[in-house]
Amino acid sequence: MSVFKNYIAGEWVAGTDANRNVNPSNLDDVVGEYARADKTQAERAIAAARAAFPAWSQGGIQARADMLEAIGNEILARKEELGRLLSREEGKTLPEGIGEAARAGQIFKFFAGEVLRPEGEKLPSIRPGVDVEITREAVGVVGIITPWNFPIAIPAWKIAPALAYGNCVVFKPADLVPGSAWALSDIVARAGLPAGVFNLVMGRGSLVGEAILNSPAVDAISFTGSVETGKRIAAAAVSRLARVQMEMGGKNPLVVLDDADLPTAINCAVQGAFYSTGQRCTASSRFIVTEGIHDRFVKAVEEKLKTLKVDDALKQGTDIGPVVDQSQLDQDLSYIDIGVKEGARLAIGGERLNRETRGYFLAPALLTETRNDMRVNREEIFGPVATVIRVKSYDEALAVANDTAFGLSSGICTASLKHATHFKRNTQAGMAMVNLPTAGVDYHVPFGGRKGSSYGPREQGSYAREFYTIVKTAYTMPV
């Protein structure tokens, strides 16, 4: 089997080690062998990006827009094939995989348009005769470090704006799921960018990730991943005054009030918590339900979960694919156990499932009769496991929803305009959803959270420029 290589300074380069990428739906299926870079190779990639930066950042914007457009078009034209690869290596279902690949293409096309919408202002000075210009410039070399759960969309929503605003990129994808990242990099590498503008360095966080973090030649780091890693990234970046943007975990609440439309609430709950195997940072993990609807809601969620097909991600008709790997599966099972020991009732699911192929299949689990101070309601589980917390009123629901260290997404199901409006104003989350699942966002508007979920400026849409550009104020006295 040939090894997929890294892309450094415009060339495909063998690694110092290789990584076996295995299909979580079928452990006998090896997706491919992917090169792992070491510290020296990461430093070469950073040096190449540094060298390419002056010409790229000052280069013509039409050519840059055309390149991003071409990347977006190729991704969209190949979305079925890329989606299949994604589902095969990560385990989300084929329609979800194709949807994510298409999203990556749309993001590149959006930022192709942004290249041609540069911002600037020219103002009178308070000093007569002087002109003031406010412009945005590229930041420099951006290190992009991504997680395994959205292996093409998250890289796309960082790489596309980085390049669009004139930065050079050193991209380190998650070690667990490098296939989609490699396929995306192959498309970028063929789009006509000058050597060094974009570099792919697959490998371990402790080697390649740390090399990016600690290099004085990397001006900015955009990271998505766990809180634990995020804290290391922030400490390293701040200690050398590098710009940093981080998206991390969630413990997203879905409030369901007595007046909610039950089918809508069930759809929001099941879609939001269990699809993509619950492995979404925006997944609903705490259902906070008022007394009058509680029993009907729990029963209806149970009934719906019984109808869902958990199987091979690539099989037609599969609703929920496998958990990504053994260690995530162990974590999911362990949290279910912790919940039960703390007094929760395992209403349904939570058992390992055997299918035709050897894979990490887990029946979606619902823990009821939980309290918000239980570990299953405090810590991110990151699997197809959700809890129900019974509350007496809207006010109590809002207080419980906000009583968390996280603040990425939050939702409410209600027919009351008063409660929906109050919730949008008072939820301590970056994103608020009314009668919609907590997961599922648009790409032309800002994405991000509060508290322990995010740090630094927002991602996506035109708000991405806050991170990927730096403002300059220039004064001119014409003499």
For the annotated catalytic residues, the residue numbers are 247, 281
**Which residues make Cβ contacts (< 8 Å) with residue 203, sequence separation at least 6?**
6, 15, 17, 19, 35, 36, 37, 38, 41, 42, 172, 175, 209
Contact string 388-427 vs ligand NAD (x = CB under 6 A): --------------------x-------------------
**Residue 286 corresponds to which tokens in the numbers above?**
């705490």
Q: Which stretch binds ligand NAD (CB under 6 A): 37-45, 111-119, 126-134, 141-149?
A: 141-149
State which of residues 91, 155, 209, 322 lies at the interface with ligand NAD (CB under 6 A): 209
The amino acid sitting at 430 is G
Residues forming beta bridges with residue 22, ordered by sequence position: 30
Of 385, 111, 106, 149, the closest CA to residue 248 belongs to 149
- Kindly state the helix (H) or strand (E) to which residue 276 belongs, with its residue range: none
DSSP label at residue 337: H
Report if residue 143 touches ligand NAD, rule: CB under 6 A: no
Instruction: Round to whole Å and give the CA distance between 441 and 119.
Output: 25
> Residue 145, interface with ligand NAD (CB under 6 A)?
yes
Give, to the nearest 10 degrees, the angle between helix 61-77 and helix 79-90: 70
Pairwise CA distance, residues 75 & 93, whole Å: 19
Under the binding rule (CB under 6 A), the answer on residue 222 touching ligand NAD is no
Within 10 Å of residue 428's Cβ, how many Cβ atoms?
16
The yes or no reply on residue 239 touching ligand NAD (CB under 6 A) is no
The answer to whether residue 380 forms part of the interface with ligand NAD (CB under 6 A) is: yes
Is 453 a binder of ligand NAD (CB under 6 A)?
A: yes
Binding of residue 324 to ligand NAD (CB under 6 A): no
Among 179, 250, 321, 411, indicate the residue that binds ligand NAD (CB under 6 A): 250
Cα dist. 407→121, 253, 289, 373, 403 in Å?
34, 9, 19, 16, 10
Q: State residue 442 phi and psi, 5-degree precision.
A: -90, 160
Bridge partners (DSSP) of residue 172 are: 145
Q: Could you tell me how many residues of this chain bind ligand NAD (CB under 6 A)?
A: 29
Name residue, tokens 């000075």. Answer: 125
Give dist(CA 473, CA 136) in Å, integer: 9
**Closer to ligand NAD at the Cβ: 229 or 264?**
229
Question: How far is 431 from 440, CA to CA, in rounded Å?
Answer: 11
Closest CA to 371 of 385, 393, 391, 348: 391
286 lies in the binding site for ligand NAD (CB under 6 A): no
Is the dihedral angle over the CA atoms 27, 314, 147, 404 positive or is it negative? negative
Site map 168..207 versus ligand NAD, x via CB under 6 A: ----x-xx-----------------------------xx-
Q: Does 214 bind ligand NAD (CB under 6 A)?
A: no
Of 187-195, 242-250, 341-349, 353-361: span binding ligand NAD (CB under 6 A): 242-250
Q: Which is nearer to ligand NAD, 16 or 357 (CB)?
A: 16
Smaller CB separation from ligand NAD, 31 or 233: 233
Regarding 312 and contact with ligand NAD (CB under 6 A), the answer is no
Stretch that binds ligand NAD, among 20-28, 146-154, 263-271, 308-316 (CB under 6 A): 146-154
- Total residue count of the chain as it appears in this document: 479
Q: Please pick, from the candidates 180, 185, 199, 224, the single residue that binds ligand NAD as defined by CB under 6 A.
A: 224
Q: In the complex with ligand NAD, which residue's Cβ is closer, 32 or 430?
A: 430
* Nearest-approach distance from CB 226 to ligand NAD, in angstroms: 3
- Counting contacts by CB under 6 A, is residue 149 touching ligand NAD? yes
Residues that bind ligand NAD (CB under 6 A): 145-150, 172, 174-175, 205-206, 209-210, 213, 224-226, 229, 232-233, 247-250, 281, 380, 382, 408, 453
